[in-house]
Structure 1
Amino acid sequence: MGASVAGRCRRGAGGGGRRSAAIQYTRLPRRWVKPSASLVLALAAACAAAGVPRGAAAEVAIAVKGVEKELAEQVRVYLGEPGSEEPAAVAAFQRHAPERAREALEALGYYRAQVAAKRRRTDDGWRVVVRVDPGEPVRVRRMAVCLSGEAAADAAFANLESRLPLKEGKILHHGRYETSRQLIQNLALDRGYFDGRFTARRIAVDPEAGTAEVRLCYDSGVRYHFGPVRFADSPLAESFLERLVPFERGEPYTAEQVAALNRALLDSGYFSDVRVRPARGAASGGVVPIDVELTARARHELTTGVGYTTDLGARVRLGWRRPWVNRRGHAFALDTEIAERRQNLTASYTVPLRDPLRSSLEYQLGVQALDVADIDTEQISAAVQYRHRLDSGWQQTLFVRADEERFRIQDDWRSTTLFIPGASWSRVRSRGGLDPHWGDRQTLSVEATDPWLGSDIELRRVRAATRWVRTLGDRHRFRARAELGALDTGPDAFDDVPPSLRFYAGGDQSVRGYKFQSLGPKRDGAVIGGRYLAEASLEYGYQLTPKWRPAVFVDAGNAYADWDDLSGEAKVGAGLGVRYSSPIGPIRLDLAATVGEPERSWRLHFSMGSDL
């Protein structure tokens, strides 16, 4: 017994007088005929035409029985609605309902349907019941797809028939036929066959036999090649913009390469809007020019931000950027942060190299002051960095940095000058925007220096970190992180290692339940930092609503003076918290407790920013 699909229409709901309509499909058994318009267009026409005059009040209930799901919905859409509740209008609707229902079912391959419609008056108005016996569907007995022109030798068209949604032995679904036709045409356009056309688009239906033959023949013509890339007015030199083009003039055209150019221009950071399209009207001789319209970003950009973390207290951030300083694509940025326990100012100047999206030189100058517990630092840094994005997606950075750091640990003031060459590798993957539901971040850095480079001390340092976010079943979010670090210096030189290069643990992004940089080797009760670092964390969050996510977590780790201490001096913090997905990223509030301490203590942690 088929399910019943009922609908109720009220006059006056539409925007004016409308009548139901459908696009018919002509059946000529055993002959090739050109098919009707697509199923989508038929549905749209029926929906647009269905309606009742404005100003009426009575209702007409329409029920479709004998079919369910897609068939029932198709029939219901094709039926439309009566013009009014007047007996003549309802009678006319009933009289035409079987024909419309059969048309609806033919679009889905059911050509032998039996349909009857009855009407009756009820206390609530008219009720029309349409009973449908769809019968056996027509199936595709033969599906012929033929190609001519240069596409016949194009590997992208190999086994094309197997990729089409309409196949031999399947029901003759006209929507899938139209999709198949469109797929062929779209593939041809994506591959640069701009002169292509169908030489045959026919369906032959034999309703009595319950079979159909489909024939799609496409003549692609010649394949076009890339011509010149024509840039609209831009503050950047055309010679520089051409370095962002991922293809060469004369290469065979592909829509994928056009999209890659669009992405490259947007990813460059110079433009707020980019439109790239083939100038097909100007194509000739098998060559198509590419037109690019560009909207440059504002030459001066100001950013501001306020926030609070339990590690650093209240803070204000200000930034000024010039996305393009000159026509060669140079960029400048100035960022400052003023927090209760840390203040810094950083200026950077970026020079794009031969491949601007992959390689650049960056010059940096920064000053920073930090006041945490028994440690004060004042640091000036200057660096030159060569950044290069590898084919694997990793970002490689080679750098030389000069640090002048004056620092106090307890009452001992020292100053250290270092010239440090080093390298780092990082990769970030994420899905879900500012509050990613999937992603990971990997980082590795190595740096070293020696007195023969002009540094005050010998030093070698390695740090590796990993962070993971995964979501199961849409609601169960897991976050894991781990970090290892090691520092090697001369036997009597550790006291001259500046705090910025020592290892500490504790705080919002470390072992929660403990204060910021409160874990590590101590001297006379003051934390002096360690030579080694080992941390790990595991967190589970449940997506209660689209914005709110409660969580539980456990953190473990410490900073150590000796490698042998790693197994016995780890600190553990655990607790619960809540996450709110704000327009500027997740906001986290955690209540964490120390675990295994003689006296358990609780600490509230508040932070903002991505989980990666």
Structure 2
Amino acid sequence: MIVAAAGSQQLPPAIVVPTPPLALQQAPEPPIVSDDTFDKALPPLSSDINAPLEPMTIVPEVVAPAVPPELAEPLPTLATFDTTPLVDVNVTDAKAPDIRYDTVQRGLGEIGLAGQFDGFSALKDGGGKAPNATVVSARAREDEALAVRLMKSLGYYDGTAVSTLEVIPGETARVRAIVSATPGKRYTLGSITVLAQPTTPPGLVESQLALKIGDPIDAARVQGAEANVALILPQQGYPFAKVGQRDVLLDDLAGTGAYTLPVDVGPRASFGTFTSEGRLAFGAEHVSVLTRFKPGELYDNRKVDDLRAGLIATGLFSTVSVEPVRTRNLNPDGTEQVNLLIEQERGPPRSLSVSGGYSTGQGIRLEGAFTHRNLFPPEGALIVTAVAGTQEQGASATFRRSNAGRRDKTVTFAAGANHSNYDAFDAFTTTVSGRISYDSTPIWQKKLTYAYGFELTGTNESVFDFGLGLRKRGSYFIAALPGQVGFDRSDSLLNPTKGYRLKLSLSPETSVRGAVRPYARVLIEASGYYPIGDSIVLAGRVRAGSIAGTGRDDLAPSRRYYGGGGGSVRGYGYQRLGPLDTQGNPVGGRSINEFALEARYRFGNYGIVPFIDGGNAYESSLPKGGDLRLGVGIGGRFYTNFGPVRVDVATPLNPRKGDGKVALYISIGQAF
């Protein structure tokens, strides 16, 4: 509320009218009727207050005109009225041309309001034409009021605006609409008063109210400062804080305003217990697993918002809310215990999903999955997956326990069968595996992640025998203990624009094929992202891997390293890089090195990405720096709320015999 008060103004002196001389005074005129005559004309009054009134004799001194007979008739009943609305008749000549007008604004540009005026202007919104000059004038009057509101929003409370229409010489159907604004003086804060209870730490409200004496009374800045108070107090232990209605008393002579803000901070609180109500997906005990705070900690609504986001991320609710509830129970430190009420409405737990992609060398790959997210509560999911593709077919069943004793900790057991038919090998594989992981999520992208588990694999594959000079089938039984550690300082999981990532994968394995042959697989990967301006990101990746402890030909072909493909060196077919057999087919290696550079240019929801990739796979256990195969290309991106859709086209710079000239890759997410 803003009240204008006159500042230190004096009332004007009283105006004294002199008395004329006696000679100029006129004698008073005699009364028209004397008092005695008037009293005698009054009827006598009875002393009995219950007596009836005496009849009054009416002397018709004035004769009223005769009433027309139609006015003497009784009014018709409401039921006889015709309630049909009048038809809006447009009397405008359809052949009459629209009037054109130019909009001119004066006075707002000097105080930085021209852009806002153009954005809300009724004249500008009209597009420079109107049916007639009256409409143009009405729009101009609306813009007068707009200009005044805009000036007041910056503290120009004495600002005025006036609009005029001018005829443009030589143009009969065109006028100029001019809105002239006069801002006047700008009011500033003369005093700042906060009416609030004491806080811990002292002066918390005042320190978060980013206003100081002498600041212009800018509406956006004042509202922003008040919003900051409403934001910070619940983060500092005051969940029920309320910012009241400000009051600004203006002094028009001094050009200042006395600002007063009432704030009800409420009790200082700590976290208590949980209560769940509604159609429950799981109880309060599992809710406590999703929290990142403990009972007794100082209340912070950011942690409450994080809990709400974690509940939503389970995918088990159609609606869910988290609200603080007062208990009026005081803790030893003087804070009030505040409980959290979880209102749940569980949603359908079953879902079907389909995904697919295409790349040269790997062909078309479609994957469908049925998921029951809460078959084994809480958050025990069963996932049945089927893969159909030109070169891969398979099925698997997975049990997954999400948030298993800890937020974002996942326990997984899976079993599946798969057939893969590529240039490098043709394999029928059965796998049983288990995994415990602590992963990043879109809600909480973690700096440090990890995973470890076991894998038992039986596979029958085609393998090239260099001694015989042909492919033959062989069976392998593999036991592995895969693990990985990741360190992520990027700003996004699916579309990073700055930062870097590091990942180390280590898998001790044993291959049983006539004899036990232990070995270890190691893979190191690093990627970085550097923004240039607002629309270009330079992205780079390097990767190196090694298998030590066994010979290449003792490894199952599916466990070897291969290069080439959409996630490797683009421009080459899937698994085409590395040693070749005598028939020109890849046989894989024990080491690999790769690099990639991209310039990601984005405009709106679209992007263009030129790139260069390089790398190769080697028979030796350590990668070499030479003999790199290079590919260049360009990609298109369509950015969605679940990540970018990627289409890349690449060509090899130094192809070998059998490599294609162009490779196409389609998938979701950036290449790295």
TM-score (norm 2): 0.70
Indicate whether 1:502 and 2:526 are aligned: no
Does 2:628 match 1:570? yes
Alignment of 1:197-346 (within 5 A): 201-216=246-261, 218-231=263-276, 232-279=278-325, 286-346=336-396
Alpha carbons of structure 1 residues 270 and 132: separation in structure 2 relative to 1, 3 Å: closer
Aligned to 1:485: 545
Residue deviations 1:500-559 (CA, integer Å, cap 9, x gap): 22111123322233332222224434432211100112233444673352x432221111
Q: Report deviation, 1:106.
A: 4.1
Structure 1 residues 216 and 350: alpha-carbon distance in aligned structure 2, compared to 1, 3 A threshold: same
Alpha-carbon contact 2:314-2:379 (below 8 Å) kept: no
1:29 aligns with 2:3: no
> Structure 2 vs 1, CA of residues 305 and 217 (structure 1 numbering), >3 Å: closer, same or farther?
closer
Q: Structure 2 CA distance, aligned partners of 1:455 and 1:174?
A: 80
* Cα shift at 1:215: 3.6
Q: 1:404 aligns with which of 428, 444, 458?
A: 458
User: Which structure 2 residues correspond to residues 456-495 of structure 1 after superposition, within 5 A?
Assistant: 456-468=516-528, 471-490=531-550, 493-495=551-553
Aligned amino acid, residue 105 of structure 1 = M
SS of 2:452's equivalent? strand
Superposed, which structure 2 residues align to 1:9-158 within 5 Å? Answer: 25-29=3-7, 63-68=104-109, 70-71=112-113, 105-113=151-159, 123-124=172-173, 129-145=178-194, 147-149=196-198, 151-153=199-201, 157=205
Q: Higher mean Cα deviation, 170-179 or 437-446?
A: 437-446
Distance 1:106 1:533, change over 3 A: closer
Letter in 2 for 1:361: V
Shift of 1:66: 2.4
Task: Give the letter for the 1:216 counterpart.
Answer: L
Q: Secondary structure at the match of 1:482?
A: strand
Whether 2:466 is the aligned partner of 1:418: answer no
Shift in alpha-carbon separation, 1:121–1:203, aligned structure 2, 3 A:
same
Structure 1 residues 478 and 87: CA distance shift in structure 2, 3 A: closer
How far has the Cα of 1:115 moved from its partner?
5.7
Q: How many residue pairs get matched? A: 557
Q: Report matched runs for 1:571-586 at 5 Å.
A: 571-581=629-639, 585-586=644-645
- Does the alignment pair 1:447 with 2:447? no
Determine whether 1:383 maps to 2:433: yes
Does 2:215 align with 1:170? yes
In structure 2, relative to structure 1, the CA distance for the partners of 1:235 and 1:145 (3 Å cut) is closer
Are the counterparts in 2 of residues 342 and 369 from structure 1 also a CA contact under 8 Å? yes
**Quick one: structure 1 residues 371 and 214, their matched pair in 2 at CA, closer, same or farther if it must change by over 3 Å?**
same
2: CA distance, partners of 1:451 / 1:605:
35
Q: 1: distance between equivalents of 2:6 and 2:627?
A: 86
Query: Cα–Cα, structure 1 residues 294 and 598, in superposed 2: closer, same or farther, change >3 Å?
Result: same
| Greater shift in the superposed pair: 427-436 or 582-591 | 427-436
Out of 439, 443, 447, the position equivalent to 1:393 is 447
> Deviation of residue 483 (structure 1)?
1.4
Shift of 1:124: 4.9
The residue number in structure 1 matching 2:208 is 160
Q: Which amino acid aligns with 1:143?
A: I
**How large is the RMSD of aligned CA atoms in angstroms?**
4.3
Kept in 2, the 8 Å contact 1:414–1:496? The answer is no
- Give the direction of change, closer, same or farther, for the CA distance of 1:341–1:563 in structure 2 (3 Å limit): same
- Asked if 1:188 corresponds to 2:233, the answer is yes
Whole-angstrom distance in 2 between the partners of 1:136 and 1:561: 81
- Equivalent position of 2:15 in the other structure: none
Q: What residue identity is the alignment partner of 1:160?
A: Q
1:342 shift after superposition? 1.9
The 10-residue stretch of structure 1 (583-592 or 512-521) with the greater mean CA deviation from structure 2 = 583-592
Alignment-derived partner of residue 10 in structure 1: none
Partners of 1:434 and 1:610 within 8 A in 2? yes
The 1:502–1:175 alpha-carbon spacing in structure 2 relative to 1, beyond 3 Å, is closer
1:38 equivalent in structure 2: none
| Counterpart contact for 1:267–1:357, Cα < 8 Å | no
- Taking a change above 3 Å as real, the CA distance of residues 287 and 559 of structure 1, as seen in their structure-2 partners, is same
Aligned equivalents of 1:554 and 1:574: distance in 2? 4
Q: How far apart, CA to CA, are the structure 2 residues paired with 1:196 and 1:54?
A: 56
With over 3 angstroms needed to count, the CA separation of the structure-2 counterparts of 1:537 and 1:186, relative to structure 1, is closer
Taking the aligned partners of 1:316 and 1:76, their CA distance within structure 2 comes to: 51
Query: Which aligned pairs between 1:362-377 and structure 2 lie closer than 5 A?
Result: 362-373=412-423, 375-377=425-427
Shift of 1:132: 3.4
Q: How far does the alpha carbon of each residue in 1:189-211 deviate from its partner, in whole angstroms, 9 at most, with x for none? A: 55554665679944343332333
Residues in 1 aligned to 2:481 and 2:188: alpha-carbon distance in whole angstroms = 71
The match for 1:546 among 577, 591, 605 is: 605
- Kept in 1: contact 2:402–2:411 (CA 8 A): yes
- State the shift of 1:435 in Å: 5.8
CA contact (8 A) 2:546 2:622 kept: no
Q: Distance in 1 between matches of 2:140 and 2:423?
A: 84
Question: 1:224–1:288: 8 Å Cα contact kept in structure 2?
Answer: yes
Counterpart position of 1:350: 400
Describe the shift of the 1:352–1:542 C-alpha distance in structure 2 as closer, same or farther (beyond 3 A).
Answer: closer
Alpha-carbon distance between aligned partners in 1 of 2:566 and 2:223, rounded to the nearest angstrom: 56
Can you list the C-alpha shifts for 1:401-421, whole angstroms capped at 9, x where unaligned?
Answer: 112222221323322222222
Alpha carbons 2:140, 2:179 under 8 Å: kept? no
SS of corresponding position for 2:653: strand
Task: List alignment gaps of at least 5 residues for structure 1.
Answer: 1-22, 32-52
For 2:226, the aligned partner's letter is R
1:278 and 1:228 mapped to 2: Cα distance? Answer: 10
Q: What SS does the aligned partner of 1:153 have?
A: coil
Identity between Structure 1 and Structure 2 (%)? 20
CA contact (8 A) 1:418 1:457 kept: no
Q: Do the aligned partners of 1:449 and 1:455 also contact (CA within 8 Å) in 2? A: no
Equivalent-residue separation in structure 2 for 1:439 and 1:131 (angstroms): 51
Gap change, CA 1:500 and 1:144, over 3 Å in 2? same
Distance in 2 of aligned mates of 1:353 and 1:112: 61
Is 2:397–2:414's contact at 8 Å kept on the other side of the alignment? yes
Alignment correspondent of 2:67? none
Q: Once the two structures are superposed, what CA deviation does each residue of 1:324-374 show, in whole Å capped at 9, x if it has no partner?
A: 112332111122212222223232212356534232321121222222225
